[in-house]
Structure 1
Amino acid sequence: MTLAARRKVVIVVKGYPRLSETFIAQEIRGLELAGLDLEIVALRHPTDRKRHAVHAEITAPVHYLPEYLHQEPGRVLRALWSGLRRPGLRGLWRDFLADLRRDRTRNRVRRLGQALVLAHEWPEGAGWLHAHFIHTPASVAEYAARIVGLPWTVSAHAKDIWTSPDWELAQKLRSARWTVTCTESGHTHLQQLAGSAAASRVHLSYHGLNLERFPPHERARPLRDGSQPEDPVQLLSVGRVVPKKGYDVLLDALAQLPKDLHWRFVHVGGGDTTELRAQADRLGLSERIEWRGALDQSEVLALYDQSDLFALACRITADGDRDGLPNVLVEAASQGLTCVSTAISGIPELFRDGENGLLVPPEDSVALSQALAHAICDPAMRNELGKVAQQKVRKTLDYHASVAQLVDLFEQEWTVIA
């Protein structure tokens, strides 16, 4: 394999572009700037109407696989016919049937079909696959790598780790040349599943932020303390409306705040807010809440500047879904905004309760309400916590470090292959 081929990487993602996955777009752009030649392959077309500025900066071509095989039968059949003549597919077939016996779903078949299309339409000159998320995108990448006879690697994040069966994770960890993940909790879990033979190939790599897009917040924030009805404390939360974000718990916590406290709450994020709006109506909160929907990064940055407090009530859902270290918490902290959140997953890896943020147990609306009230009433305290949080983010979570780590991992493999 030539050096040029080794440095041309196919990045497999679930959907592209997506507002909620800024960290992926940021990483892709960082790898481009580091000299890698990239092509993006997405399993889904975009559904967001807006895009972040970084999406316009990415130069990599984008290819879309059939989201559902029956929608493009001709494309799938051509790929199947081509794949039948490849020795890689013959070697893969037995393992695919074993996977199918343990996962008897159409989704499993769709992953193989998408992998066949990717192999048949393989970008010219590419010599490596890298998947973002160790569930569906990694399945497609692993199958495609087997078909075309090339190595593959994977970045694991949050839901993909905790909602995938252990047998499948262990299999992929052994198959991939290396795996990176973005929290210590996820890293420990994946190393245990990888076993002694592959544990050393699982690496911890925090995403970090492009701090050029998030310059230091140096202006003193107003000392609002909730006592003035004409100047209420401004609360902000950014996140998709999905169960793991805990917005129902956050609304319950807001409803328990002392009645004489004056505050306004702004929610930013995609998803159906119908149930949350109904809950807010029942709790008598609607007049204090603004639902802004999905916004781009520059619009969210302006809201960080205008707000006094950031809240996110992350939880672990019944099926194991959870956040890792939510990027919005890192963003908010980078702007000196005090964060009130829950002590799960990677959140305590950045925040220490009472030191640079306020953390409470998940699902505990009483504790969350008490933490919010404390932060609302004590602007000096929350501004000091925000200052310390900003310093920590700017010192430890610059995305250039994570990009450099990835480039080094690629280079090590390419040196071995050479």
Structure 2
Amino acid sequence: MVHKKKILVLLKGYPRLSETFIAQELLGLERAGYHLELVAMRRPTDKKRHPVHDEIKAKVWYLPEYLHDEPLRVGKAFLSCIRKPGFFRALSAFLKDLKRDFSPNRFRRFGQAAVLVAEWPQDAEWLHVHFIHTPASVARYASMIGATPWTVSAHAKDIWTSESWELEEKLQHAEWAVTCTRVGFERLTELSRGRNNVHLSYHGLDLDRFPHFEAVRSLRDGSDAADPVRLLSVGRAVKKKGYDVLLQALARLPADLSWHFTHIGGGDELQRLIALAAELGLEGRITWKGALDQREVLEHYRSSDVFALACRVTADGDRDGLPNVMVEAASQCLPVVSTRVSGIVELFESETNSLLVSSEDAMQLAHALERMFREPALRQKLALAAETKVRSDFDHHNSIRDLDRLFTLSKA
């Protein structure tokens, strides 16, 4: 029997409603025979949790989010780590980084790395980290101090808002990196400077949780005010999701078109969006549901007619990869309207299995929504093509096999 490593998995926060793809991966690795232990840099803030979180057996513990909150723990960690042969190598790397990024955040990451090494479980053989920005900084310093190999899963914001020099140095030090979109893979591959240690693996879905929706979908076409077309979006209210553009598009729809929009998700921008909807005269046609768990979201996919996200690239470079909620919607034969940003085009093709428009263009988005609202036959055709692609190419078992192969081939 092949020996499966015990892996310590470092996370920015756990559990998080917006990171079902990570929870799904953790459960998949446990089912593949890996013994995991989870350590997070932040405690949970969500009031709900998904069913998948309760199925994961791994022990969870937390690093000090702010070093001054637990000074004795941090001090004890440094006393332990300073005796390790790799401490001064890590300190040198930290000081080099500090010259280029002098911030409290940088000090915090080095302190968290010391605590991680000092409290490292004796039987853990490997460190795997999600996100190549701040969590990977902790992992890199910890790996140097403790002489432990490490690997990283990079996703979206962490790739596009990080400085090139920092990504390059992390990719030189990590055993390997895996990422979930081709556009992200190409950027990281370029920055790996010939190491060829970056791998592409789409997250996919646990299709057992998203079985084919057997019911016949509604033929609503927006002509009946008593039975409006049901538009759904799921996502945090943050700038990169483009909800302000979506609201502007809805305000441009013809007056004779009957629709109702439901938004699921929390986020810092939520109150501002609610105010914008009122300013645009839309408040009576929108339901803001807040955060829901996966089972509740699934019911909304099944009772809606169209799914929309107006993803954009923000001023600081932040963007989505391929939003998992769009894959979930497609798995339920729910047609998608979105933008041609980042990894979205790796699953969705306009006029073939979706309608895609330019980001920031509310008028284009309004036209695409109107077409979807008025043409039930178009919705059915595009949605069936998208579901077929999801079920053939985006099964999460594929990504678990990729990770299993990489961990198996890696030297402890």
Q: TM-score, normalised by structure 1?
A: 0.97
1:36 aligns with 2:39: no
Q: 2:170 aligns with which of 172, 188, 194?
A: 172
| Unmatched 5+ stretches in structure 1 | none
CA distances 1:98-156 after superposition (whole Å, capped 9, x unpaired): 00100100100100000000000001210100000000111111111111111000000
CA positional deviation for 1:314: 0.2
CA distances 1:274-328 after superposition (whole Å, capped 9, x unpaired): 1111111111100000000000000000000000000000000000000000000
- Secondary structure at the aligned position of 1:161 is classed as helix
Q: 2:209 aligns with which of 210, 213, 230?
A: 213
2:267 maps to: 271
What does 1:240-259 align with in structure 2 at a 5 Å threshold? 240-259=236-255
- Counterpart CA distance in 2 for 1:275 and 1:93 is 43
Q: 1:158 aligns with which of 156, 159, 164?
A: 156
| Unmatched 5+ stretches in structure 2 | none
1:88 maps to: 86
Q: 1:236 aligns with which of 225, 232, 238?
A: 232
1:412 maps to: 409
- Counterpart CA distance in 1 for 2:93 and 2:138 is 14
- Counterpart CA distance in 2 for 1:413 and 1:194 is 18
Q: 1:11 aligns with which of 9, 12, 29?
A: 9
1:185 maps to: 183
2:107 maps to: 109
- Counterpart CA distance in 2 for 1:77 and 1:174 is 30
Letter aligned with residue 361 of structure 2: D
> How many residues of Structure 1 are paired with residues of Structure 2 in the alignment?
410
Q: 1:69 aligns with which of 50, 64, 67?
A: 67
CA distances 1:212-265 after superposition (whole Å, capped 9, x unpaired): 000001211010000000110000000001000000000000000001000000
Identity %: 60
CA distances 1:58-106 after superposition (whole Å, capped 9, x unpaired): 0000010000000000000000111111111122111110001001001
Letter aligned with residue 353 of structure 2: N
CA positional deviation for 1:8: 0.5
- Secondary structure at the aligned position of 1:321 is classed as coil
- Secondary structure at the aligned position of 1:393 is classed as helix
- Secondary structure at the aligned position of 2:33 is classed as coil
Q: 2:96 aligns with which of 78, 98, 115?
A: 98
- Counterpart CA distance in 2 for 1:276 and 1:134 is 30
1:136 maps to: 134
1:371 aligns with 2:351: no
- Secondary structure at the aligned position of 1:155 is classed as strand
Q: 1:25 aligns with which of 20, 23, 45?
A: 23
1:125 aligns with 2:123: yes
- Secondary structure at the aligned position of 2:7 is classed as strand
Letter aligned with residue 181 of structure 1: T
Return structure 1 stretches of 4+ with deviation > 2 angstroms. none
- Counterpart CA distance in 2 for 1:331 and 1:89 is 44
2:298 maps to: 301
- Secondary structure at the aligned position of 1:107 is classed as helix
- Counterpart CA distance in 1 for 2:188 and 2:136 is 14
CA positional deviation for 1:27: 0.1
1:260 maps to: 256
- Counterpart CA distance in 2 for 1:165 and 1:90 is 24
CA distances 1:184-207 after superposition (whole Å, capped 9, x unpaired): 0000011111111x1x11000000
- Counterpart CA distance in 1 for 2:300 and 2:59 is 32
1:149 maps to: 147
CA positional deviation for 1:173: 0.6
Q: 2:330 aligns with which of 328, 333, 338?
A: 333
- Counterpart CA distance in 2 for 1:161 and 1:168 is 10
Letter aligned with residue 60 of structure 1: A
- Counterpart CA distance in 2 for 1:270 and 1:15 is 16
- Counterpart CA distance in 1 for 2:334 and 2:381 is 10
- Counterpart CA distance in 2 for 1:34 and 1:246 is 37
- Counterpart CA distance in 1 for 2:148 and 2:54 is 30
- Counterpart CA distance in 2 for 1:60 and 1:278 is 42
RMSD: 0.9
- Secondary structure at the aligned position of 2:290 is classed as coil
- Counterpart CA distance in 2 for 1:323 and 1:36 is 29
1:224 aligns with 2:220: yes
- Counterpart CA distance in 2 for 1:124 and 1:221 is 54
- Counterpart CA distance in 1 for 2:134 and 2:94 is 14
Q: 2:359 aligns with which of 344, 357, 362?
A: 362
